[in-house]
Amino acid sequence: MDVLEAVKGRRSIRAFKNQDVPAEIVEGLIDAARWAPSAGNIQPWEFIIVRKPRIKRRLVEAALGQMFIEEAPVVIVVCANEERSSQGYGARGKTLYCIQDTAAATQNIHLTAYSLGLGTCWVGAFREEEARETLKIPYGIRPVAVIPVGYPAEAPPPRSRRPISQTVHYETF
Query: Which residues form the interface with ligand FMN (CB under 6 A)?
Result: 11-12, 14, 66, 121-125, 159
Which of residues 41 and 166 has its CB atom nearest to ligand FMN in the complex? 166
Shortest spacing between CB 27 and ligand FMN, in angstroms: 24
Shortest spacing between CB 59 and ligand FMN, in angstroms: 11
Euclidean distance between CA atoms 77 and 60, whole angstroms: 12
DSSP tag of 34: T
Which of residues 42 and 145 has its CB atom nearest to ligand FMN in the complex? 145
In the sheet that holds 119-120, the strands lie side by side as 45-50, 74-81, 141-150, 119-120
Shortest spacing between CB 17 and ligand FMN, in angstroms: 18
Strand spans (E) along 11-133: 45-50, 74-81, 119-120
Residue of 108, 115, 91 whose CA lies nearest to 38: 108
Shortest spacing between CB 51 and ligand FMN, in angstroms: 20
Which of residues 137 and 146 has its CB atom nearest to ligand FMN in the complex? 146
Euclidean distance between CA atoms 146 and 144, whole angstroms: 7
